[in-house]
């Protein structure tokens, strides 16, 4: 097959996914006459834009959520969750902020907090923290860069976290299982568990729609979670199930705007 440019190749990869449901790196490498490194970069970028999820040796289509929300409503929910979560943070707290869109919504709300010490494993979080006028102390985990989660992972990151004690850890979730805990597509879950180990309070920030996503990997069991901050669309029965496992559930009020 003739060489394709990057965008043509990525469109072709998505065509294969739409028709087959999943693709293999080895097959794509042969088909497009390019290297495995190039194909993996393609898959990483397509995953970053929310079009697929990577798996060992290839990728599969991202499972569809039964009730799709438009981008505006998703933004409203994230902001409401972030506002509720920010009220849990006090001046001079030592906190961890994990990578993720929902946890990132917390960052602009930290500007009125004084004397914060914040550790993160995400470059974009660190950069936004450094732009805050209140100038929090910013710590980076270091470690090995993971293209799937767009964050640092690995033993070095774990060792850096264990060198400190934190008041709170704010983490996101790809999925929520009412009986088990938070779930993720990423098989690299160890760092999230270390974050929970070194924090006095673990706060999960996730929209209620994450309950509709069936995801294979358990990240944090409810026993390791102190508070779930979600939106007001969570069913009362589900909230009760989670609270029965010792987790405080805060349902942030969302208001639609015209």
Distance from the Cα of residue 95 to its chain's centroid: 17
Q: What is the number of residues in the chain? A: 258
Give the model confidence (pLDDT) of 212-256 as tens digits: 777 778 999 999 999 999 999 999 999 999 999 999 999 999 865
Give the model confidence (pLDDT) of 34-54 as tens digits: 999 999 888 888 877 667 778
DSSP H or E segment with residue 252: strand 248-252
Phi first, then psi, for residue 253 (nearest 5°) are -75, 130
Residue with more model confidence, 219 or 18 = 219
Put simply, whether the predicted model's pTM sits higher than 0.75 gets the answer: no
Give the pair of three-digit tokens for residue 5.
């440019």
Give the pair of three-digit tokens for residue 146.
């993971």
Distance from the Cα of residue 39 to its chain's centroid: 23
CB atoms within 10 A of CB 22: 14
What whole-number distance in Å separates Cα of residue 192 and Cα of residue 194?
Answer: 5
C-beta of residue 95 within 8 angstroms of C-beta of residue 89: yes
What whole-number distance in Å separates Cα of residue 40 and Cα of residue 157?
Answer: 23
What whole-number distance in Å separates Cα of residue 77 and Cα of residue 75?
Answer: 5
Tell whether the model's pLDDT for residue 66 goes beyond 60: no
pLDDT value of residue 74? 53
State the helix-helix crossing angle for 6-20 and 36-48, rounded to 10 degrees.
70
Give the model confidence (pLDDT) of 96-118 as tens digits: 999 888 999 999 999 999 999 99
What whole-number distance in Å separates Cα of residue 118 and Cα of residue 139?
Answer: 6
**For range 177-199, the mean pLDDT:** 88
C-beta of residue 176 within 8 angstroms of C-beta of residue 219: no
Establish how many alpha carbons lie within 13 A of residue 67's alpha carbon, considering only the half-sphere containing its beta carbon: 9
Residue with more model confidence, 194 or 147 = 194
Residue with more model confidence, 24 or 21 = 24
Give the model confidence (pLDDT) of 127-167 as tens digits: 999 999 899 999 999 998 877 677 898 999 999 999 999 99
What whole-number distance in Å separates Cα of residue 85 and Cα of residue 203?
Answer: 8
Report how far apart the first and last C-alpha atoms of the chain are (Å, whole number): 50
pLDDT value of residue 228? 98
Segment among 4-13, 61-70, 209-218 with least mean pLDDT: 61-70
- Strand 217-221 and strand 181-184: the pairing is antiparallel
Domains of the chain, CATH where assigned: 6-61 (1.10.10.10), 71-252 (3.40.50.1360)
Tell whether the model's pLDDT for residue 19 goes beyond 70: yes
| Nearest partner of 210 among 83, 78, 48, 72, judged by Cα | 78
Q: How confident is the model at residue 73 (pLDDT cuts 50, 70, 90)?
A: low
């Amino acid at each position: 097959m003739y060489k394709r440019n990057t965008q043509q190749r990525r469109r072709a990869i998505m065509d294969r996914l739409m028709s087959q449901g999943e693709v293999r790196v080895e097959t794509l490498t042969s088909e497009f006459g390019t290297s495995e490194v190039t194909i993996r970069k393609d898959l990483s970028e397509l995953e970053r834009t929310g079009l697929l999820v990577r798996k060992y040796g290839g990728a599969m289509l991202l499972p569809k959520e039964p009730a799709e929300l438009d981008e505006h409503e998703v933004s409203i929910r994230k902001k409401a969750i972030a506002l509720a979560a920010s009220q849990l943070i006090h001046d001079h707290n030592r906190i961890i902020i994990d990578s993720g869109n929902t946890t990132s919504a917390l960052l602009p709300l930290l500007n009125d907090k004084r004397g914060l010490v914040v550790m993160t494993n995400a470059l974009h979080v660190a950069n936004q923290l450094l732009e805050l006028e209140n100038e929090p102390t910013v710590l980076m985990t270091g470690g090995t860069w993971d293209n799937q989660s767009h964050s640092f992972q690995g033993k070095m990151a774990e060792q850096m976290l264990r060198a400190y004690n934190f008041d709170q850890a704010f983490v996101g979730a790809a999925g929520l299982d009412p009986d088990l805990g938070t779930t993720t597509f990423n098989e690299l879950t160890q760092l999230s568990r270390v974050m929970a180990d070194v924090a006095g309070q673990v706060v999960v920030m996730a929209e209620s729609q994450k309950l509709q996503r069936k995801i294979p990997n358990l990240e944090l069991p409810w026993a390791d979670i102190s508070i779930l901050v979600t939106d007001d669309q969570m069913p009362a029965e589900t909230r009760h199930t989670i609270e029965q496992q010792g987790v405080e559930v805060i349902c942030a009020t969302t208001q639609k705007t015209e």
